């Protein structure tokens, strides 16, 4: 096994035993980045000099401190998370030269745990997209097939993990932006409960939906990384002061006594047969491990896309109002009046998809339409949350597809926003309800493209989703396969 192939827990064992060094691992990964980036385009910024210096520092001080579980581990962070002294663009021209003066709480926790930041990963602009084609700089390509999308909006993070351009990564999920790219790239992606991980320093898209989570090579690493970033933060008013268990210690073998629900609304027209077969086979595997599978109903699922694409753009319209050319970010220098400067700065700085969502959101919030659209969408959101609560009275976890298809070709849906939005039909409901969900590899198409399995759990029951995922992973080999780069 090459050093860049390693998981967090495998690398930590080698570092502890003195069989490799952080400098050697970090240098090896940068060599791989230089080799693959012209084809994959997973990163927007690299911090090589700083990272190598940190690696050498860890090698000097040693790895005996058990409070530093990520010591010497090279990581990537999505470019929507503020990193002090390192450019944070959100994949947008409007923030192309923005260098934050502070660290997001998540970035700070990774640093304090000993993680080495390799760089910032590519993404759909302001996390608005399902394919990474909305990046203002360049699209990321799927390591399994360079003509396919990696998923979005955390496509750069998922592609970097799949291509072994980092040991693990962090992304953000608003409507599926961790789980969907993890599925398309054949890696593990975890969206925690809303409020479990601090949003302080996460550049806002939709504040009631955005959540930070890990993207890793296996479930154990997802648990390890979640241990580091989870927890209450008084700087985030939506952070929940709830005790965080040790997720890795709770990776228990066996599913005896666990009932998994199969929502009938997730197996509908539009679900590609190869994807359905892989998911149904995964359900049989869970049953063979002791789980009991029952059919459940989430009756308001069909309204998820409509509700999300009113709520999220409405919040984006408000959040993105701050980019006016005055406070920070891109500023048009030719406008002769204040209003002209505002207009030109925003029209030139934002991409087409961001402008589309700002206009949708502004319209939904406008006088005369607020009750008809935004208020109604919030009511639907409440009904969807109640659907999940009802289902979880019958079962401990839900098992579903992550996406209706495997990764589709670059350019196939970029001019058809509605088809692009429907890519998230199976991930949006969990985001609207605020529950945790994980995507794990469960198969491959006849073309060799990964297929993901989604496991959803009740609020703050990340432990349960991880346990189900871990047991499936330990009895299959899908997570061990690597793209033929």
How many domains are there within the chain? 1
How does residue 417 score in pLDDT terms, banded at 50, 70 and 90?
confident
pLDDT digits (tens, 9 = 90+) for 296-317: 999 999 999 999 999 999 999 9
* CA-angle at 166, arms to 161 and 167, nearest 5°: 85
Q: pLDDT digits over 104-144, tens only? A: 999 999 999 999 999 999 999 999 999 999 999 999 999 99
Examine the pLDDT at 12 and tell me if it is beyond 90: yes
- Active-site residue, 153 included: yes
* Band (418; pLDDT cuts 50, 70, 90): confident
- pLDDT over threshold 80, residue 1: no
Does 485 reside within a domain? Answer: no
List the one residue out of 129, 228, 130 whose CA is nearest residue 170: 228
- Say if 424 falls within a structural domain: no
- Residue 169 belongs to domain with CATH number: 3.90.1300.10
What pLDDT is attached to residue 45? 98
Q: Note down the domain range covering 67.
A: 3-254
Please compute the mean of the pLDDT values over residues 447-456 and round it to a whole number: 98
Instruction: Give the whole-angstrom CA distance, residue 401 versus residue 301.
Output: 14
Question: For 179-222, what is each residue's pLDDT tens digit?
Answer: 999 999 999 999 999 999 999 999 999 999 999 999 999 999 99
Residue 188 in any domain: the answer is yes
Q: Length of the chain, please?
A: 485
Determine the angle formed by the axes of helices 105-112 and 219-229, rounding to 10 degrees: 110
Percent of the chain with pLDDT over 70: 100
Tell me what the pLDDT averaged over the chain comes to: 96
User: Is residue 446 domain-resident?
Assistant: no
Residue 292 β-bridge partners? 259
Residue 163, pLDDT score: 98
Q: Please, which pLDDT band fits residue 410 given cuts at 50, 70 and 90? A: very high
pTM: 0.97
Q: Is the per-residue pLDDT at 465 higher than 90?
A: yes
Query: What percent of the chain lies above the pLDDT cut of 90?
Result: 93
197 found inside a domain: yes
Question: In this structure, is residue 180 part of a structural domain?
Answer: yes
pLDDT, average across residues 273-278: 97
Indicate which residue of 131, 153, 157, 345 is catalytic: 153
Q: How far apart are CA 274 and CA 282, in angstroms?
A: 12
Asked if 408 and 152 touch (Cβ cutoff 8 Å), the reply is no
Q: At what angle do helices 304-319 and 352-365 cross, to 10 degrees?
A: 100
- Among candidate residues 78, 120, 217, 413, the one labeled active-site is 78
Tell me what pLDDT residue 193 has.
Answer: 98
- Give the pLDDT of residue 151: 97
pLDDT for residue 383: 98
Within a domain: 117: yes
Can you give the pLDDT at residue 485? Answer: 87
Identify the pLDDT of residue 269: 85
pLDDT band at 440 (very low <50, low <70, confident <90, very high): very high
Crossing angle between the packed helical segments 219-229 and 8-16, to the nearest 10 degrees? 80
Within a domain: 110? yes
């Amino acid at each position: 096994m090459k050093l860049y192939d390693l998981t967090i827990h495998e690398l930590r064992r080698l570092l502890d035993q003195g069989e490799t060094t952080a400098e050697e691992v970090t240098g090896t990964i940068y060599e791989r980045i230089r080799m693959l980036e012209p084809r994959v385009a997973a990163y927007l910024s690299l911090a090589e000099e700083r990272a190598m210096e940190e690696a050498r520092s860890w090698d000097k001080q040693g790895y005996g401190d058990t409070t530093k579980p990520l010591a010497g581990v090279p990581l990537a962070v999505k470019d929507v998370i503020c990193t002090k002294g390192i450019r944070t663009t959100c994949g947008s021209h409007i923030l192309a030269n923005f260098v934050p003066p502070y660290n997001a709480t998540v970035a700070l926790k990774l640093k304090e745990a000993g993680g080495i930041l390799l760089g910032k990963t590519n993404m759909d602009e302001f996390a608005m997209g399902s394919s990474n084609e909305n990046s203002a700089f360049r699209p990321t390509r799927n390591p399994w097939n360079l003509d396919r999308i990696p998923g979005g909006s955390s496509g750069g993070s998922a592609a970097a993990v799949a291509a072994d351009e980092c040991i693990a990564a962090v992304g953000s999920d608003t409507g599926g932006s961790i789980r969907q790219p993890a599925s398309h790239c054949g890696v593990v992606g975890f969206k925690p409960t809303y409020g479990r991980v601090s949003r302080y320093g996460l550049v806002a898209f939709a504040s009631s939906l955005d959540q930070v989570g890990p993207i890793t090579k296996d479930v154990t690493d997802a648990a390890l990384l979640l241990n580091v970033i989870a927890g209450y933060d008084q700087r985030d008013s939506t952070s929940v002061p709830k005790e965080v268990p040790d997720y890795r210690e709770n990776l228990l073998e066996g599913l005896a006594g666990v009932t998994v629900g199969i929502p009938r609304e997730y197996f509908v027209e539009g679900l590609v047969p190869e994807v359905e077969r892989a998911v149904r086979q995964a359900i049989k595997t869970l049953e063979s491990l002791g789980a009991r599978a029952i059919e459940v109903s989430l009756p308001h699922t069909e309204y998820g896309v409509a509700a999300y694409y009113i709520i999220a753009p409405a919040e984006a319209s408000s959040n993105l109002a701050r980019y006016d050319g005055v406070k920070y970010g891109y500023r048009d220098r030719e406008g002769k009046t204040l209003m002209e400067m505002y207009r030109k700065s925003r029209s030139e700085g934002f991409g087409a998809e961001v402008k589309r969502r700002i206009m949708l959101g502004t319209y939904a919030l406008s006088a005369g339409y607020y009750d008809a659209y935004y208020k109604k969408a919030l009511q639907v959101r409440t009904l969807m949350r109640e659907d999940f609560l009802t289902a979880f009275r019958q079962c401990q976890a839900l098992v579903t597809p992550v996406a209706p298809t495997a990764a589709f070709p670059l350019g196939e849906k970029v001019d058809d926003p509605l088809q692009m939005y429907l890519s998230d039909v199976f991930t949006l409901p969990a985001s609207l309800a605020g529950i945790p969900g994980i995507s794990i590899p469960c198969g491959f198409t006849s073309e060799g493209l990964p297929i993901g399995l989604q496991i959803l759990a009740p609020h703050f029951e990340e432990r349960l989703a991880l346990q189900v995922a871990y047991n499936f992973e330990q009895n299959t080999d899908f997570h061990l396969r690597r793209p033929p780069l």
